[in-house]
Structure 1
Amino acid sequence: MTHTYHITEMTCAGCSAKVSHLLKRIPDVTSVSIDLGTGDATITMVNHVATSTLQEALKEHPKYKLTEKMVKSVNIFAEQVEEKKSWAATYKPILLIFGYITAISLIVSLWGNGFSGMMFMQVFMAGFFLIFSFFKMLDLKGFANSYAMYDIVAKKFKSWGYIYAFLELGLGLAFALGIFPLFVNAFTAVLMSVSLIGVLQSVMTKKKIQCACLGAVFNLPMSTVTIIEDGLMIAMSVAMLFMYL
């Protein structure tokens, strides 16, 4: 069965992710779909869950007020036809960003005496961290809330989400300036490896969580694309580290 509720004070994707996570912890709740535009939450449940139970789940964050808007019972096994975005449409923002970074990296690495793999990776890493940190900075709080949904460090220390955004900015500048290459690449490999652990756990358990790679600006689902993204950064940093040794 499915019921629709109205929840106040949800202002960003981070709020949506937090509320969804809290409601999904209720045993009989199977899915939560939130429309930030209207503030409505459509909750599917195996057995009916009292409104008071749902409100109790949000008590840790009293600003979120849940009220029953309308009740619509639906057989959860009934055939449902939903319009779904194509893979390309879903990941268009990140594909465009990677395309731009790759093109610029190729141009710079080919400038002069032929292609330089080291230069390509250095420019790519600089562009990656600078652009991704920029989107995180647009809504630091929203990013921190979304990141805490799956990152193993941010789950325990919420402030890590704020710190992480600035670490990415620092790494982007370091790669752009070419300073402290051994330390920067080693630190990048460790940082991205830790981040990858949470991503792998979320994807393997098939949790429907928003990927925070581009902050709270774009609603990108966590998937193998995120794994490839983090894995690529780890591979490049390790490769550059060995080149410098």
Structure 2
Amino acid sequence: MTTGSPARKHATLWRMVMPGHLCPFGLKSKWLLRHKGYTVEDHHLTSRAETDAFMRDEGVETTPQTFIGGERIGGYDALRAHFGYRVMKEGDTSYRPVIAIFAVAALMSLALAWLVEGTLVVPGVPERFIAISMVLLGLQKLQDVEGFSTMFLNYDLLARRVVPYGYVYPYAETGAGLLMLAGLLPWLSAPVALAIGTVGAVSVFKAVYVERRELKCACVGGGSSVPLGFVSLTENLMMIVMALWVGLRALA
């Protein structure tokens, strides 16, 4: 006796496909459903009026909308949650942005070592890693200096006393990192990194470990989801170590 192949799972998707707008979340929903082994009954909403009528009839406020087994799952985020993926909600925190920066900085420092010295095992790799990390972190802040300075005021002790410091900080961090990476002007880069690193370390330690406040770190710019804590303290301690190393080497 032969058995047929098991029936494929079926889902119904309603999404906007208009001449001037192709909903990206609709495409993502369709891909995710197919990735999970579903056949997709794909309905296109081709006009604003058609979309509004669909949302009114279904009692929803957004599209796309996915239905599985006659049950409405919801939009793309709801679909991801249905399949067990983590969905970031308002107020959630994640270390992913800063981990990504540190990982790329490490790989860039190794790439430079291979390019310049032809080997990955060289004394300058940790130094380059810290300098590149400073540049990348500063770059994140420079994308929205206004947003960063506002978030920075939540915990930085110097910025609270001298508000313009929050606007200067991204340039100071980026500039010091670039000078250290190039090996230029240690008399300038070391004091700058030491100053901002020390103030930052004291500010983070006070806010997190003394006052026990739950804040988000401005280390990757305004609107960051990174929690203020050990990673933020580590960023500042790295700047202090780098500043001392560069300064002592310049004096030797």
What CA distance in whole angstroms lies between the structure 1 residues aligned with 2:161 and 2:239?
A: 24
The 1:220–1:152 alpha-carbon spacing in structure 2 relative to 1, beyond 3 Å, is same
Residue number in structure 2 paired with 1:120:
125
Runs of 4+ aligned structure 1 residues displaced above 4 Å come to: none
The 1:183–1:141 alpha-carbon spacing in structure 2 relative to 1, beyond 3 Å, is closer
Aligned length: 159
Residue number in structure 1 paired with 2:201:
196
Q: Which has the higher contact order (CA 8 A, sep 6+)?
A: 1
Q: Does 1:227 align with 2:208?
A: no
Q: Does 1:153 align with 2:161?
A: no
Could you tell me the TM-score, scaled by structure 1's length? 0.58
Describe the SS at the equivalent of 2:158. coil
What CA distance in whole angstroms lies between the structure 1 residues aligned with 2:118 and 2:185?
A: 24
Residue number in structure 2 paired with 1:54:
none
Residue number in structure 2 paired with 1:216:
222
Describe the SS at the equivalent of 2:160. coil
Alignment partner for residue 191 of structure 2, among 186, 207, 211? 186
Contact 2:140–2:220, Cα closer than 8 Å, also in 1: yes
Cα deviation for residue 229 of structure 1 reads: 1.9
Which is greater in Rg? Answer: 2
The 1:169–1:228 alpha-carbon spacing in structure 2 relative to 1, beyond 3 Å, is closer
RMSD over equivalenced CA pairs, Å: 2.3
Cα deviation for residue 138 of structure 1 reads: 1.7
Cα deviation for residue 84 of structure 1 reads: 9.8
Cα deviation for residue 123 of structure 1 reads: 2.3
What CA distance in whole angstroms lies between the structure 2 residues aligned with 1:217 and 1:94?
A: 13
- 1:60-107 per-residue CA deviation (whole Å, 9 max, x = no partner) reads xxxxxxxxxxxxxxxxxxxxxxx998xxx8101111110110111123
Please list every run of 5 or more consecutive structure 2 residues that lacks an aligned counterpart in the other structure. 1-85
Residue number in structure 2 paired with 1:140:
145
Could you tell me the TM-score, scaled by structure 2's length? 0.57
Cα deviation for residue 176 of structure 1 reads: 3.1
The 1:113–1:138 alpha-carbon spacing in structure 2 relative to 1, beyond 3 Å, is closer
What CA distance in whole angstroms lies between the structure 1 residues aligned with 2:233 and 2:149?
A: 19
What CA distance in whole angstroms lies between the structure 1 residues aligned with 2:242 and 2:87?
A: 34
Contact 1:135–1:217, Cα closer than 8 Å, also in 2: no
What CA distance in whole angstroms lies between the structure 2 residues aligned with 1:177 and 1:236?
A: 14
Cα deviation for residue 206 of structure 1 reads: 1.2
Describe the SS at the equivalent of 1:179. coil
